[in-house]
Structure 1
Amino acid sequence: MRKPQALVLTIFSLIFSSCEKDPPLNEPGSNETINEWTMAQMRQYYYWNEKITQKNDYQQAPDLFFKSLLFKDDHYSSILQTLNSDTYGNTLTNTFGFDMVQLQNQSETIQLVTQVVPFSEGDLMGLKRGDSISHINDEPIDHSNLKSLLSKSLLLPAMHLTRNDGKIFHLPSSYISQPVLYTAKLISSSPTVGYMFLSQFDFSGSYSLLEAIQNFKSQEVQELIVDLRYNPGGQVAFAAFCALLLADIKENDIFAKYQGNKNLKNREDSFAAALQRQPDGYSFTADEVLKQGLHLKKIYMLTGPNTASAAEMLINGLKPYVEIIQVGDKTFGKDMASTTIVTPEDIRGTERAWHLIPMIYKIYNKADQGNYNNGIIPQKVTDEFSSLPLVPIGDTKDPLIQEVLQTVNVKNILAKGAVNNAGKTNLVLPQYIGSSYQAIPIEVSAQGKSDK
């Protein structure tokens, strides 16, 4: 994955270290010096700066001091002390090539594979979406231990999954590059309905997406389904790229507005301006992308509790311009942007730098619609786990796809394989414990900080 710039996904690896000896008080690198600097930054940039109470314990460890400043409803601000600031913590998808969900009711708990990364080891071994898993590393899974089993597995050189039929999948730990575009295809010819699944927002998938859009244009697609149900976000520039390819918009239309505290000027970005912050190595321009786009006036978006961050921005940002018909479950609810502030050398001395990542802006669209911290609720609430087993991604038997096809009046939909009511399940309360279900941060530069 290429390095993002401003207004893009920033990814960090949590590599902590301890000092053998604390520097003297008030000296560069001391807790007191770092914490006083941290307090000043938070009072300047933090969205909830007026909620910060006066602190006297500047001798605390910097990470504990930072966390003590956070507003109680802030679940996203963080602080890292790193060796490498452009990688992120391991997840199931980028380490073992799959992800899973736990479903439960009062009498039963099951674990289902929700996605398998194409061409990963698990995929080549036959692991499939919908497989039911009974053991991890030979330990039986119950309603209370899945999270700990997954966390432990991410520290091991390999992971053993036992499927309910007894088959064991030996998955070595490795870096797995997850394709952005899993599939793009026609799923109906009367009318022509296209479908695409986007796993994340990253420019590594830009040319695949361009090719898919050109194919849809040649096939004269009348309706399009964009599946974002497991998309945790990514580069905001790529979200703008998607918008320009899909929707009937203009390059200078407003994509997002950012509102901060009284110290920060509110700002806004057009689709073109957001696209300009694409990573090094890419040089797309908004007018060129628009010429190749579909110019749709209506788009169907499939969402779930793991649709987050820049993926939510795409949905909200397009609402003032085109009809967005959202199907599935409500989204994650990441409606804020952060910035990264690094301790300067005169503050940290010879110690490793601390990276403060406070939330500084609320995100709105052109019509000032936002405040979706509890998630964006679909017009058509549909449970993808209403019928088991889960079908492959893009299969027309999928409950969310079925809902769309029924809405667009696809002829003979039942003959094409509608969901069998015999497979209905009374399992409720899906527990998204899979470790890759983390909202990827939206990063912006604050007033007085230059984009890097």
Structure 2
Amino acid sequence: MLASAVLIGCGGGSSDPSDGNDNVSDFCSVTNEKEQFLSYMRDDYFWYEDIPSTVNLDNYASVYELLEGIRSNVDRYSFILTEEEYQSRFVEAEFIGFGFSARIIDTAVFINYVYDESPADNAGLRRSDELLAIDGVPVSTLLQQNEYNAALGASEEGVAVELTWRRQDGTEFTDVLTKTVVDTNTVLAAEVVNLSNRRVGYYVLNSFIQRTGQDLNGAYNQFTDIDELVIDVRYNGGGLTRFANQAATQAAGNNVLGEIFTQYIYNDKNSANNETELFQLYEGVRQFNLNRVYVLTTAASCSSSELIINALKPFVEVVVIGGRTCGKPVGQVPRSICDKRTFVVNFETLNANDNGRYFDGLAPQCTAPDTLVGDWGHLDDPLLAEAGYHIANGSCSPDPQQQTQKQSKPESPHAYTLLDQWRSEY
């Protein structure tokens, strides 16, 4: 999760490197970047006490290596972007590619999701399709030869490849896709579905970036006379906390408005920055006053996605279905250092009941596997089907596999960040 406020500055001193009084190239040399970053970490890093007392900067070729060398053993979340990467993904909400995300299962590749009006979308590629070949070469061969990513081409506009894919019903398609600038809509699907004879609002929320506020309005505006709400964050790696607040507030409405959404707790050097954020609509227009909210999760549900669950729990019933979440009850205030944005952990979050520190992830009430069966909203989707069962019966389904999963010891959550999410996109 990223705090709603963005901290901007070069750090490491009070002078402005752009005021003409300093040599900018010297100020932003690799050596100076490392010095600035280490100084910032010693003051603002949540686990600053875990940084070695003596750090030889000459041992690290860049700030990226320095972060890896001095981060706390418990820190699975801090990362650094270039300013260009930050502006592209967080602010402009775009990247150059075909517009799909995929998962690799053994020697096969399946589509997780497709961005609206992207080359992949326009060609007809859909969630759950299997990618069979790239430029005529079987995907299984490319994976075995470690050439899959290279076969998809460089991240440059105009790069074209021929893709062959197969739908769940066995129908095969072949088309040439050309990379272009892809707008990353953060709500991948939104509709009213009939589950157990109840009208259920269902939407897939994929990230929390600058455009999410309006995307949420687009989703909630589609829901009329709904009895239940299902928020699907199964692949949502997190982002700006204010939009987690907006999503939660639009769902629970008067049950939470004005109550404590979350408490931001900084290290003891920065306790003056501690603050409490209340539930509020932010850019939201429409609200529901639901007493119960369903949330679909996997190990890829992280950070601000988890915040929705933890923040709502003191006030309404939250039914979590799917898999244990990634376990990131901490967040970052992005900091500019020359041409980079550092995202190092600055604070932890606690809900109105002072509950947090779920580093092992948030466990679902009802487990269900993220098996690909069709496009979003398919009623045979195990997570959505389990939500339907709970809506009808008030309990989890008696599936023996699910009960075994629930009783087994949870595995250590994967260190899933927005970077992991973006790396699965092409």
TM-score (norm 2): 0.75
| Cα distance in 1 between the residues matched to 2:129 and 2:421 | 25
2:408 paired residue number: none
Provide closer, same or farther for how the CA distance between residues 75 and 209 of structure 1 changes in structure 2, counting only shifts above 3 A: closer
Give yes or no for the alignment of 1:384 onto 2:370: yes
Deviation at 1:57, TM superposition (A): 2.4
1:155 paired residue number: 154
Which residue among 113, 123, 130 is the counterpart of 2:121?
123
2:11 paired residue number: none
Deviation at 1:311, TM superposition (A): 1.5
- One-letter amino acid of the counterpart of residue 207, structure 2: Q
Deviation at 1:396, TM superposition (A): 1.4
Provide closer, same or farther for how the CA distance between residues 341 and 404 of structure 1 changes in structure 2, counting only shifts above 3 A: closer
| Cα distance in 2 between the residues matched to 1:168 and 1:65 | 45
Provide closer, same or farther for how the CA distance between residues 300 and 250 of structure 1 changes in structure 2, counting only shifts above 3 A: closer
| Cα distance in 2 between the residues matched to 1:258 and 1:47 | 12
1:49 paired residue number: 48
| Cα distance in 2 between the residues matched to 1:317 and 1:251 | 12
| Cα distance in 2 between the residues matched to 1:168 and 1:122 | 12
| Cα distance in 2 between the residues matched to 1:84 and 1:131 | 29
2:10 paired residue number: none
Give yes or no for the alignment of 1:331 onto 2:329: no
Which residue among 4, 8, 11 is the counterpart of 1:7?
4
**What aligned pairs does 1:126-275 form with structure 2 within 5 A after superposition?**
126-142=124-140, 149-150=148-149, 153=152, 155-156=154-155, 157-163=159-165, 167-181=173-187, 182-188=189-195, 190-202=197-209, 204=211, 206-207=213-214, 209-210=216-217, 212-216=219-223, 218-219=224-225, 221-247=226-252, 248-265=254-271, 267-272=274-279
- Specify the SS of the correspondent of 2:247: helix
Provide closer, same or farther for how the CA distance between residues 131 and 334 of structure 1 changes in structure 2, counting only shifts above 3 A: same
Q: Is the 8 A contact 1:184 1:197 kept in 2?
A: no
1:393 paired residue number: 376
Q: Is the 8 A contact 1:335 1:373 kept in 2?
A: yes
Identity of aligned pairs, percent?
24
- One-letter amino acid of the counterpart of residue 313, structure 2: K
1:37 paired residue number: 36
- One-letter amino acid of the counterpart of residue 77, structure 2: Y
2:300 paired residue number: 306
| Cα distance in 2 between the residues matched to 1:159 and 1:363 | 45
Give yes or no for the alignment of 1:320 onto 2:311: no
1:67 paired residue number: 68
Deviation at 1:93, TM superposition (A): 8.2
| Cα distance in 1 between the residues matched to 2:117 and 2:387 | 29
- Specify the SS of the correspondent of 1:316: helix
Residues 214-262 of structure 1 deviation map (CA, whole Å, 9 limit, x = unaligned): 553x42x222212221222233222211111101433321111222322
2:359 paired residue number: 373
Bigger RCO (CA 8 Å, 6+ sep)? 1
Gaps of 5+ in 2: 8-21, 394-398, 400-410
Residues 85-119 of structure 1 deviation map (CA, whole Å, 9 limit, x = unaligned): 42249999862121122234xxxx43211222233
Provide closer, same or farther for how the CA distance between residues 235 and 160 of structure 1 changes in structure 2, counting only shifts above 3 A: farther
2:404 paired residue number: none
TM-score (norm 1): 0.71
Residues 248-278 of structure 1 deviation map (CA, whole Å, 9 limit, x = unaligned): 43332111122232212162333357x65xx
| Cα distance in 2 between the residues matched to 1:246 and 1:342 | 34
Q: Is the 8 A contact 1:305 1:332 kept in 2?
A: yes
Q: Is the 8 A contact 2:235 2:298 kept in 1?
A: yes
| Cα distance in 2 between the residues matched to 1:298 and 1:382 | 19
Provide closer, same or farther for how the CA distance between residues 171 and 73 of structure 1 changes in structure 2, counting only shifts above 3 A: farther
TM-align CA RMSD: 3.9
Deviation at 1:325, TM superposition (A): 0.4
Gaps of 5+ in 1: 11-22, 277-281, 344-351, 411-418, 420-428, 441-452
- One-letter amino acid of the counterpart of residue 243, structure 1: A
Provide closer, same or farther for how the CA distance between residues 223 and 88 of structure 1 changes in structure 2, counting only shifts above 3 A: closer
Residues 357-389 of structure 1 deviation map (CA, whole Å, 9 limit, x = unaligned): 32111222122222233322211010131xxx6
Deviation at 1:49, TM superposition (A): 0.8
| Cα distance in 1 between the residues matched to 2:99 and 2:244 | 24
| Cα distance in 2 between the residues matched to 1:146 and 1:267 | 51
| Cα distance in 2 between the residues matched to 1:310 and 1:115 | 20
1:356 paired residue number: 342
Deviation at 1:298, TM superposition (A): 0.5
Give yes or no for the alignment of 1:403 onto 2:405: no
Provide closer, same or farther for how the CA distance between residues 91 and 84 of structure 1 changes in structure 2, counting only shifts above 3 A: closer
Structure with more helix by fraction? 2
Provide closer, same or farther for how the CA distance between residues 35 and 45 of structure 1 changes in structure 2, counting only shifts above 3 A: same
- One-letter amino acid of the counterpart of residue 75, structure 2: D
| Cα distance in 2 between the residues matched to 1:159 and 1:8 | 41
| Cα distance in 2 between the residues matched to 1:73 and 1:363 | 16
